[in-house]
Amino acid sequence: MTGETNIINALHGKKIVLGIGGGIAAYKSAELARLLVKTGADVHVVMTEAGERFVGRATFQALSGNPVCTSLWDEQANKGMAHITLGRADAILVAPATANLIARLAHGMADDLLSTLCLARDCPLLIAPAMNRQMWSHPATRRNVATLEGDGVSVLGPDTGEQACGEIGEGRMLEPGILCAALIDAFAPKPLAGRKVVITAGPTFEAIDPVRGLTNPSSGRMGYAIAAACARAGADVVLVSGPVALPTPPRVRKVGVTSALSMREAVFGALPAEVFVAVAAVADYRPATVAAHKIKKSGEAMKLELIPNPDILAEVAALENAPFCVGFAAESHDLDAYAESKRRDKRLPMVVGNLVADGLGGGDNTVVIYDDAGRHPLPRAPKGAIADWIVDHLARLLPRD
């Protein structure tokens, strides 16, 4: 999620229950409530008794524009049937979800309004755990979280970092913007549900000696954006990445590699898959030999013998049971001609072409999609948006089961 403009009206017409458990992260949920209102959702806040000790109900009432419910015994609320009427929402997001609340939900307890409506619901439940790192890693919490996941509950996070108690570790609640984006994603269509997608991204690094190598300025942004878009579209995603400094997108399995040879090995290790998207800027050549020790300066000209690397995409596309293969073409000129010839030579159903000056390294890109129906230029946009369009396009071309 790059800015608040992306979320406006994204959940228009949806009724969302925001459950607030008793943790210090509850103060961040005020911001979450504000963002959810921006999505156009009808937001109803339900607080546990402990949650109310951290942030007052007036805050959430003002932000959501709806009465805040806290008790099963509040006769004012929904004719005493708050646990049923609120449970008929489009989704319930519990943030923060404390260790205690997670334990109660995992065991189907219904001893306050929030736990009761989670049990009585007929809509998706998402929880954002927030607790001390020891509590998060305790076997009891691990069991409870696994139980909830097994019951189809989406567990968002937690994050790693400094905690309210001063300790550092896993257990921080995800930031409100990320939670809001995750909720929006939960409603997005899932055209790649049940499909496995393998993606390569970033540069490769071909060692010359222990300290030097051949590489290129690919940042990995385009490939990581495609991986995130595929995960949002419901795919099971394996991202084979060269050395880059980017966080792994949610619900994506990353395999870190360095050279073209190690990238090839990781790709073939991740197959079979229904889709392969080759975004990586793979070095076409590598040094014939790698010096065991740092090469010393001699003052003389130095010759470096280079030998060809395997073409990973061409090899995958030539497999008997080849996945649906999407290639990329980064060109300095004559994009249409080179991209189309790559599509033909490697027999690819789809190629995404971009000029190096447009797409290498930065946050935006301008691309043209090539397929059997011709060329489909896309407007210049952030790589996240471009990735969503590419994934929509490939999902439409995929053979139906």
Q: Both tokens of residue 309?
A: 């690397």
Determine if 323 is a binding residue for ligand PMT (CB under 6 A).
Answer: no
The one among 235, 278, 350, 368 contacting ligand PMT by CB under 6 A = 278
Determine if 287 is a binding residue for ligand PMT (CB under 6 A).
Answer: no
Q: How far is the CB of 248 from ligand PMT (least distance, A)?
A: 15
H helices of 162-275, in order, are 176-187, 221-232, 260-270
Q: How far is the CB of 233 from ligand PMT (least distance, A)?
A: 19
Q: How far is the CB of 253 from ligand PMT (least distance, A)?
A: 19
Determine if 21 is a binding residue for ligand PMT (CB under 6 A).
Answer: no
Determine if 130 is a binding residue for ligand PMT (CB under 6 A).
Answer: no
Tokens 């923060």 belong to residue: 96
The one among 311, 364, 375, 393 contacting ligand PMT by CB under 6 A = 311
The one among 17, 32, 199, 282 contacting ligand PMT by CB under 6 A = 282
Q: What is the DSSP letter of 274?
A: S
* Comparison of 103 and 356: residue with beta carbon closer to ligand PMT: 356
Determine if 349 is a binding residue for ligand PMT (CB under 6 A).
Answer: no
Q: Which of 165, 180, 230, 325 is catalytic?
A: 165
The one among 69, 145, 280, 350 contacting ligand PMT by CB under 6 A = 280
d(CA 143, CA 350): 44
* Comparison of 121 and 286: residue with beta carbon closer to ligand PMT: 286
The one among 213, 287, 327, 384 contacting ligand PMT by CB under 6 A = 327
Determine if 329 is a binding residue for ligand PMT (CB under 6 A).
Answer: yes
Write out the H or E segment, with its range, that includes residue 21: none
H helices of 255-325, in order, are 260-270, 312-317
d(CA 257, CA 203): 10
Q: How far is the CB of 190 from ligand PMT (least distance, A)?
A: 25
Determine if 359 is a binding residue for ligand PMT (CB under 6 A).
Answer: yes
Please enumerate in sequence order all residues whose Cβ is within 8 A of that of 312, keeping only pairs 6 or more positions apart, or say none: 200, 260, 263, 264, 267, 278, 280, 282
Size of the site for ligand PMT (CB under 6 A): 28
Determine if 312 is a binding residue for ligand PMT (CB under 6 A).
Answer: yes
* Comparison of 77 and 360: residue with beta carbon closer to ligand PMT: 360
Determine if 330 is a binding residue for ligand PMT (CB under 6 A).
Answer: yes
The one among 279, 387, 391, 395 contacting ligand PMT by CB under 6 A = 279
* Comparison of 147 and 216: residue with beta carbon closer to ligand PMT: 216
> Which of positions 176-215 make contact with ligand PMT (CB under 6 A)?
200, 202
Q: How far apart are the first and last CA of the chain?
A: 32
d(CA 2, CA 8): 12
Q: How far is the CB of 107 from ligand PMT (least distance, A)?
A: 46
Q: Both tokens of residue 274?
A: 């229904």
Q: 306-328 burial, b for 16+ CB within 10 Å, e for fewer?
A: eeebebbbbebbeeeebbbbbbb
One DSSP character per residue, 88-137 reads GSSEEEEEEE-HHHHHHHHTT--SSHHHHHHHH--S-EEEEE---HHHHH
* Comparison of 32 and 199: residue with beta carbon closer to ligand PMT: 199
* Comparison of 131 and 369: residue with beta carbon closer to ligand PMT: 369
230 is catalytic: no
Determine if 218 is a binding residue for ligand PMT (CB under 6 A).
Answer: yes
Q: Both tokens of residue 174?
A: 């995800």
Residue 300, classed as helix, strand or coil, is coil
The one segment of 2-10, 69-77, 120-128, 279-287 that binds ligand PMT by CB under 6 A = 279-287
Name the CA dihedral angle for 162, 167, 168, 173, rounded to a multiple of 10 degrees: -50
* Comparison of 133 and 264: residue with beta carbon closer to ligand PMT: 264
Contact 97, 115 (CB under 8 A): no
Q: What is the DSSP letter of 202?
A: S
Contact 203, 256 (CB under 8 A): no
Active site residues: 165
Residues at the site binding ligand PMT, with contacts judged by CB under 6 A? 200, 202, 218-223, 260, 278-282, 284, 309, 311-313, 327-330, 342, 354, 359-361
